[in-house]
Amino acid sequence: MEVRPQDGCVPLNGQIATFQRLTPKENAMQTRRKFIQIVPVAGAALLAGREVLAQARPADALDPKSPQATGLKYVEKTANPAQKCTNCQLYQAKATDPWGGCPLFAGKKVAGEGWCSAWVKKA
Ligand code: SF4
């Protein structure tokens, strides 16, 4: 490493360690480089956060352990992707909505990826 006049030296455990002082231009370039590295990571983290919020369990979600749910073997994650709430005739939401209503569980939301034994293929 080349030591320049603006660089410094400090005693460290009996040895002399050198360090480089950055010129204001070098410092600005490093800051800009770090910013450019951070922006895509922060953007990806924000998108992931939005995805998590969109999938967040609503307060009025049906409790899979409730007697009504267990009576119809309701689960929040279907074992058979060909049969799930979003493609059930009784699902009361858009097929892209992660949660929606179901007349069998009035006042509660069922998971779009859920399933129960009353599943009926959407016409
Ligand atoms: S009937 Fe069952 S499968 Fe159909 S939307 Fe309601 S909970 Fe989901």
The CA 72 to ligand 1 mean position distance, Å, reads 9
Site to substitute for ligand 1 among 62, 88, 108, most atoms within 8 A of C-beta = 88
Instruction: Please classify residue 27 by burial: count the beta carbons closer than 10 Å to its beta carbon, then call 0-12 exposed, 13-18 middle and 19+ buried.
Output: exposed
* Residue nearest to ligand 1 atom 6, measured at CA: 102
Provide the β-strand partners of residue 75: 115
Give the CA angle between residues 95, 45, 49 to the nearest 5°. 40
* Higher pLDDT among residues 117 and 19, named by residue: 117
The dihedral of CA 75, 92, 121, 80: what is its sign?
Answer: negative
Range in 19-23, 55-59, 75-79 with the lowest mean pLDDT: 19-23
* Higher pLDDT among residues 106 and 55, named by residue: 106
- Specify the ligand 1 atom closest to the Cα of 114: 8
pTM: 0.61
Binding-site residues, ligand 1, Cβ < 6 A:
74, 85, 88, 90-91, 102, 104, 110, 114-116, 118-119
The predicted pLDDT at position 118 comes to 98
pLDDT in tens, 5-51: 566 666 666 676 666 777 778 777 777 777 667 666 665 665 665 55
| Eight-state DSSP code of residue 58 | P
pLDDT in tens, 86-113: 999 999 999 999 999 999 999 999 999 9
